[in-house]
Structure 1
Amino acid sequence: MKLASLLLWTAAAVTALPEKHEHKPAKCTKPEKRRSWHNITDAERKAYTSAARCLLTSPQKLNRLPGAKTRWDELVSLHQIHALQIHTTGQFLPYHRYYLKTLEVLLRECGFMGVMPYWDETRDAGNFSASVIFDPVTGFGSGGDAIGGCVPNGPFYNLTVNIGPGFESKPRCVNRKITDMFSAQTGKTYVAAALNHTDYAGALDGIYSGPHLLGHMALAMMDGNSITSSGDPLFFMHHGFVDKMWADWQAKDRKKRFKDISGLNAQDPAVGFSEFPGGMEEESAMWGHPSAVILAVTPDPQFGDNGPNITLNHIMSSLGIIPNATVADVMDTTGGYLCYEYV
């Protein structure tokens, strides 16, 4: 059964080749300064959440992403479609950096002219629930009372996401459940341990299995579902933190680490998500299998690599929201395709 599922997924994915690499390099002469939510003004906070709310209430545009009814759904659909390629693989960090870029472009559609913020979780480690990021007026609203509990206030109260859970497409409220105990492991000591590696493989595992995973456990966004947790706009604040960790690690040896990439470009069927027991087939009991319509638009995970291992030539796709980009394009946040730095 496991082999049959893998062959079905691979065959369908190969038929959905992403478009060719469309990016033309530019120069980054004045990098934008991405600041923590703690350090931006209330006006900047409201401008950001207003634009995100706009995306949650704007109709979809592509007419190709299964289940999408809003522009936000299209963004969440990308995470669903790519889920088995961008978790427990070498794609994890570069794709999520590209994913943040995709959100930035969408926010511009809704009039956001500021710089993308992130959440410095080290400042709230062990006490997430008291963070300013959950303010109902100038933040993302607080957490629900239980898994599946809709956010009770804030800009995303009473809004619907139509992608998920898992590989389904069912309308759900924006929801999260905050558990302070897990958030302790996003602290400075844990971040330092995650980054205490000399190669990408080590840093990737340290980040993924450490502060990234424990941050997700502390927030349980969208029922804690790994496939569609980006339904909660807070997801991108968390992944800004994740991206900053990678950028900080790269900055310690730029010459080497801007070219250091390794790992598979799709999950090993015997492993699946490393944080869950069993392989892909066993884990499918939690969220099902990708449907035929999802498989029909799933890019070939080997596109640009010509093999099962990720390379700098790997092509990442947003399926039409923004142009494709290679892993090489996103290795340096000030390299031209991207033009920002964390402060």
Structure 2
Amino acid sequence: MTKLLLRLLAVFAAVGLVAALPAAEVDTPAQTCTTPSKRRSWHDVSETDKKAYLTAVRCVMTSPQKLNRLPGAKTRWDELVSLHQIHALQIHTTGQFLPYHRYYIKTLEFLLQECGFKGDIPYWNETRDAGKFSKSPVFDPVLGFGGSGKGGQNCVTDGPFANLTINIGPGFKSEPRCLNRRITDALSGGTGQSYYNTAISGAKYPQALDAIYSGPHLIGHMALAMMNGDSITSSGDPVFFLHHGYVDKMWWDWQSKDKTVRLKEISGLNAQDPAVGFSEFSGGMEAESAMWGKPTAAILAVTPNPQSGDGGPTLTLGHIMSSLGIIPNATVADVMDIKGGYLCYEYV
């Protein structure tokens, strides 16, 4: 039974044994982007806008869950983290990594607006703090996210998110734990400008995908060790979304070098190869399960078919991405252009 649970996503999805609970249909009518929102690095966000963003994030983190279908979720934030847990084996070391996380940030934006947020989503230009993450304004105790955690569990004890509980994780479990992180300045040097330049220098999507994922993205995660460095549920820490804004900007900067071609260029698997698993760990899924466990029956019951919209194991522009009902489903094509209408923002 355990081997079956491990391989259901990658092996049996094609014959319909893995399917999400009913969610919003794909409904992305033609739209235009005339006034894009401005995504600024946290360094450049006004004090007023920082406070508004932090207040909205805390609101999401303390609001009760609404979907009544995501295993272990007790808050609206838990539902967001649960999405990352449920999709983990589809959106890491696959072609889905960049488009799904772009869609995932849009899901956060909706939840913030649900809490009254009317501003622009920030990101974190990590090149400005490379080698000295702990000194970044991102971790200011008043106008930031609090600093490195304390004690044996590295619980965040200052800032607006001090002493909050995350109910999703670790791994594929649902065991309440503190919001935690551990900042390592020496590792953060790997998010600097030269690493950024390398990450966006690939000639084709597979090269760019690998360089972004294995470069500043992965190194940033290592330097922050959000939620005990757990790849499955690291989005429990709100800093995750600033970091992935930086990752998204890398992809956009790569796309912008040749929009005619790159706004339609996508490839890769739509679910992990069980023999490989996460590329940053050895041994494939079987070995990695020693760290994170395996998707539970409850998780598998709501896990979308990774081949939805593709008709096979290779990712296409027609691939359907789901937030399981938080926002409507979207296709990869919908998120390829950040000013294409479905999305409407720019990095400044």
Shorter chain as normaliser: what TM range? Answer: over 0.9
2:138/2:144 contact within 8 Å kept: yes
Name structure 1 gaps, 5 residues minimum. none
- Residue in 2 that maps onto 1:209: 214
Between 241-250 and 10-19, report the one with greater CA deviation. 10-19
Distance in 2 separating the partners of 1:65 and 1:2: 21
Question: How has the CA–CA distance of structure 1 residues 239 and 181 changed in structure 2, closer, same or farther, with 3 Å as cutoff?
Answer: same
Q: How does 1:56-135 map to 2 (within 5 A)?
A: 56-135=61-140
| CA shift for structure 1 position 25 | 2.4
| CA shift for structure 1 position 14 | 3.7
| CA shift for structure 1 position 7 | 4.2
Distance in 2 separating the partners of 1:146 and 1:254: 48
Distance in 2 separating the partners of 1:166 and 1:121: 26
- Residue in 2 that maps onto 1:294: 299
| CA shift for structure 1 position 24 | 1.6
- Residue in 2 that maps onto 1:200: 205
Question: How has the CA–CA distance of structure 1 residues 287 and 306 changed in structure 2, closer, same or farther, with 3 Å as cutoff?
Answer: same
2:7/2:274 contact within 8 Å kept: no
Distance in 2 separating the partners of 1:64 and 1:108: 22
| CA shift for structure 1 position 32 | 1.0
The aligned length equals 343
What TM-score does the superposition give when structure 2 sets the normalisation length? 0.96
Q: Partner amino acid for 2:284? A: G
Name structure 2 gaps, 5 residues minimum. none
- Residue in 1 that maps onto 2:153: 148
1:2/1:269 contact within 8 Å kept: no
| CA shift for structure 1 position 8 | 3.2
Q: Partner amino acid for 2:64? A: P
Question: How has the CA–CA distance of structure 1 residues 2 and 160 changed in structure 2, closer, same or farther, with 3 Å as cutoff?
Answer: closer
Question: How has the CA–CA distance of structure 1 residues 124 and 154 changed in structure 2, closer, same or farther, with 3 Å as cutoff?
Answer: same
Distance in 1 separating the partners of 2:141 and 2:17: 45
Q: How does 1:179-194 map to 2 (within 5 A)?
A: 179-194=184-199
Deviations 1:94-153 (A, max 9, x none): 000000000000000111110000000000000000001100000000011367311120
Q: Partner amino acid for 1:308? A: P
Q: Partner amino acid for 1:83? A: A
Deviations 1:64-107 (A, max 9, x none): 00000000000000000000000000000000000000000000
Match of 2:141 among 136, 139, 145: 136
- Residue in 2 that maps onto 1:16: 19
- Residue in 2 that maps onto 1:279: 284
- Residue in 2 that maps onto 1:258: 263
* Dislocated runs of 4+, deviation >3 Å: 1-15, 17-20
Q: Partner amino acid for 1:132? A: P
Corresponding position: 1:161 with 2:163: no
Q: Partner amino acid for 2:230? A: N
Residue identity over aligned pairs, in percent, reads 69
- Residue in 2 that maps onto 1:312: 317
Question: How has the CA–CA distance of structure 1 residues 65 and 142 changed in structure 2, closer, same or farther, with 3 Å as cutoff?
Answer: same
